[in-house]
Amino acid sequence: MTAALVAGTICAATAAIAEQHSDINGAIGSLEAALNGGDAAAAAAVYTEDAILLPPDAPRIDGREGIAGFWGAMFEAGVGDVVLETAELDMLGDTAIETGTWQVSVPDGNGGTVTPSGKYIVVWKKGADGVWRLYRDIWNTNPAE
């Protein structure tokens, strides 16, 4: 191979990875907007049909319908001001693994709010339609400060 061919191949691969990162970042933004807008259906739409949600101290939740119900219940409980921050995003073909941190506001039961935070890991899958969606989603809280 010539140096130009190798360089061209590397540049094309780098551009494809950058585009996939951009697509996933867009999906993360869509999820964050849906969560902050209290839109359970829009939040669930960012997940695959066969997604699994693994919330802390709660049973496993399967599929978009269950996930929409979970997020709807969270909105009814007053969860809002969601902030998601990606720390790492590893691309593995049509799968990606994201780790990051989260923070939310929740009612404290006394008329105020508290802002728990934690970390998460998400597995993304690229569908046949070319859209990246959450496939597995698990998170937990940081210790109280």
pLDDT tens digits for range 74-86: 999 999 999 999 9
With cut-offs at 50, 70 and 90, classify the pLDDT of residue 12. Answer: very low
Q: What is the pLDDT of residue 4?
A: 58
Torsion of CA 81, 84, 85, 90, to 10 degrees: -170
Residue-wise pLDDT for 30-54, tens only, equals 999 999 999 999 999 999 999 999 9
Q: What is the pLDDT of residue 102?
A: 96
Q: What is the pLDDT of residue 112?
A: 92
Alpha-carbon span 117 to 45, nearest angstrom: 24
Structure tokens given for 48: 């695959």
Residue 138's CB is within 10 A of a number of other CB atoms, namely: 15
Structure tokens given for 88: 């790492």
User: 56 burial class (0-12, 13-18, 19+ CB within 10 angstroms)?
Assistant: exposed
Residue-wise pLDDT for 92-124, tens only, equals 999 999 999 999 999 998 989 999 999 999 999
User: 97 burial class (0-12, 13-18, 19+ CB within 10 angstroms)?
Assistant: middle
**For the chain, what is the largest distance between any 2 Cα atoms, rounded to a whole number of angstroms?**
69
* pLDDT beyond 50 at 63: yes
Domains annotated on the chain, with CATH: 3-141 (3.10.450.50)
* pLDDT beyond 90 at 141: yes
Mean local confidence (pLDDT), 86-95: 95
pTM metric for this prediction:
0.84
Q: What is the pLDDT of residue 84?
A: 95
Helix (H, G, I), strand (E, B) or coil at 136: strand
Q: Are strands 132-141 and 47-54 parallel, antiparallel or unpaired?
A: parallel
Bridge partners for 34 per DSSP:
none
